[in-house]
Amino acid sequence: MKKPTDSPVLRDIVLVGGGHSHVGVLRRFGMHPVPGVRLTVICRDTHTPYSGMLPGYIAGHYTYDDVHIDLCRLAGFASARFYRDEAVGLDRAARKVLCRGRPPVPYDQLSINIGSTPMLANVAGASEHAIPVKPIHAFNERWLALLGRVVGHPGAMSIAVVGAGAGGVELTLAMQYRLQNELRAAGRDPAGLQFHLLDSGEAILPTHNSAVRSAFEAVLRDRGVVLHRNAKVDSVAAGQLHTADGKALHADEIVWVTRASGAPWLRATGLALDESGFIRVTDTLQTVTDPDVFAAGDIACMVSQPREKAGVFAVRQGPPLAENLRRAVERHALHPYRAQRHWLALISTGDKYAVASRGGLHFQGAWVWRWKDWIDRRFMRRFSEFPPMQDSMQPAASPVRLEGEEAAQALSAIAMRCGGCGAKVGATVLSRALGGLHPIDRPDVLIGLHAPDDAAVVRVLPGKAMVHTVDFFRAFIDDPYVFGKVAANHALGDIFAMGAEAQSATAIVTVPPGLESKVEDVLTQMMSGAIEVLNAAGCTLVGGHTGEGAELAMGFAVNGLIDESMVGVLRKGGMRPGDVLILTKPIGTGTLFAAHAKLEARGRWIDAALDSMCQSNRAGAQVLLAHGATACTDLTGFGLLGHLVEMTRPSGVDAELSLSALPVLEGAEETAAAGILSSLQPANVRLRRALRDQGAWVDDPRYPLIFDPQTAGGLLASVPAERAEACVEALKTAGYARAAAIGRILPQGDALEPVVLAR
Ligand SMILES: Cc1cc2nc3c(=O)[nH]c(=O)nc-3n(C[C@H](O)[C@H](O)[C@H](O)COP(=O)(O)OP(=O)(O)OC[C@H]3O[C@@H](n4cnc5c(N)ncnc54)[C@H](O)[C@@H]3O)c2cc1C
Q: Minimum mean pLDDT among 9-18, 114-123, 587-596: which range?
A: 114-123
66 with 430: CB under 8 angstroms? no
Mean pLDDT value of segment 356-374: 96
Mean pLDDT value of segment 571-586: 97
The residue nearest atom 11 of ligand 1, judged by CA position, is: 311
298 Cα nearest atom in ligand 1: 26
299 Cα nearest atom in ligand 1: 26
- Ligand 1 center–CA 18 separation, angstroms: 9
pLDDT on residue 4: 43
Mean pLDDT value of segment 362-381: 97
Strand, coil or helix: 48: strand
Q: Minimum mean pLDDT among 410-419, 556-565, 656-665, 680-689: which range?
A: 410-419
pLDDT > 70? residue 491: yes
pLDDT on residue 405: 67
Let me know if 710 is exposed, middle or buried by CB neighbors in 10 A (0-12, 13-18, 19+): buried
Measured CA to CA, the distance from residue 690 to residue 702 in angstroms comes to 17
pLDDT band at 407; cut points 50, 70, 90: low
Quick check: CB of 312 below 6 Å from ligand 1? yes
572 with 647: CB under 8 angstroms? yes
161 with 232: CB under 8 angstroms? no
CB under 8 Å to 141, separation ≥6 — which residues? none
Measured CA to CA, the distance from residue 634 to residue 613 in angstroms comes to 12
pLDDT above 90: percentage of residues in the chain? 82
Task: Give per-residue burial for 510-545: e unless 16+ CB within 10 Å, then b.
Answer: bbbbbbbbbbbbbbbbbbbbbbbbbbebebbbbbbe
Measured CA to CA, the distance from residue 375 to residue 368 in angstroms comes to 10
At 373-386, the pLDDT tens digits run 999 999 999 999 98
Quick check: CB of 42 below 6 Å from ligand 1? yes
CB under 8 Å to 725, separation ≥6 — which residues? 741
- Alpha helices, H only, 466-567: 480-497, 516-536
Quick check: CB of 58 below 6 Å from ligand 1? no
135 Cα nearest atom in ligand 1: 30
pLDDT on residue 1: 40
pLDDT > 90? residue 563: yes
- Annotated active-site residue 421? The verdict is yes
Q: Which of 486, 475, 589 is CA-nearest to residue 530?
A: 486
Q: What is the mean pLDDT of the chain?
A: 92
Give how far the C-alpha of residue 617 lies from the chain's centroid of Cα atoms, to the nearest Å. Answer: 22
The residue nearest atom 35 of ligand 1, judged by CA position, is: 17
pLDDT on residue 195: 97
Quick check: CB of 55 below 6 Å from ligand 1? yes
Mean pLDDT value of segment 652-681: 97
Quick check: CB of 739 below 6 Å from ligand 1? no
pLDDT on residue 433: 77
pLDDT > 80? residue 333: yes
CB under 8 Å to 472, separation ≥6 — which residues? 508, 553, 554, 555, 556
pTM: 0.93
Measured CA to CA, the distance from residue 541 to residue 511 in angstroms comes to 19
Best mutation site among 21, 41, 45, 51 for ligand 1 pocket (most ligand atoms within 8 Å of CB):
51
The residue nearest atom 29 of ligand 1, judged by CA position, is: 19
Measured CA to CA, the distance from residue 351 to residue 195 in angstroms comes to 16
Mean pLDDT value of segment 119-137: 86
pLDDT > 60? residue 394: no
Residue 49 to residues 18, 27, 629, Cα–Cα distance (Å): 9, 16, 46
The partner residues of 526 in beta bridges, in order of sequence, read none
Quick check: CB of 174 below 6 Å from ligand 1? no
pLDDT > 80? residue 406: no
At 600-631, the pLDDT tens digits run 999 999 999 999 999 999 999 999 999 999 99
pLDDT on residue 5: 53
pLDDT > 80? residue 425: no
Quick check: CB of 106 below 6 Å from ligand 1? no
639 with 704: CB under 8 angstroms? no
Report the number of secondary-structure helices (H) and strands (E) in the chain: 21, 38
Residue 74 to residues 24, 360, 600, 719, 729, Cα–Cα distance (Å): 10, 37, 11, 44, 39
460 with 443: CB under 8 angstroms? no
- Ligand 1 center–CA 278 separation, angstroms: 14
Quick check: CB of 118 below 6 Å from ligand 1? no
- Ligand 1 center–CA 331 separation, angstroms: 30
Q: Which of 333, 321, 548, 530 is CA-nearest to residue 430?
A: 548
Per annotation, catalytic residue among 421, 539, 614, 632: 421
The residue nearest atom 38 of ligand 1, judged by CA position, is: 114
More confident: 410 or 488: 488
Quick check: CB of 298 below 6 Å from ligand 1? yes
Task: Indicate if the alpha-carbon torsion angle 209, 214, 219, 221 is positive or negative.
Answer: positive
Half-sphere exposure of 433 (CA within 13 A, CB side): 26
What would the DSSP string read from start to end of 616-668?
A: -SHHHHHHHHHTT-SEEEE--TTHHHHHHHHHHHHHTEEEEEEGGG--B-TTH
Query: Which secondary-structure segment (H or E) carries 408?
Result: helix 404-419
Give the 3-state secondary structure percentages of the chain, helix then strand then coil, rounded to 5: 40, 25, 40
CA dihedral 674, 679, 684, 689 (to 10 degrees): 60
45 Cα nearest atom in ligand 1: 47
pLDDT on residue 2: 45
Quick check: CB of 513 below 6 Å from ligand 1? no
Q: Minimum mean pLDDT among 148-152, 287-291, 641-645: which range?
A: 148-152
pLDDT > 50? residue 421: no
136 Cα nearest atom in ligand 1: 30
58 Cα nearest atom in ligand 1: 1
State the CB neighbour count (10 A cutoff) for residue 592: 29
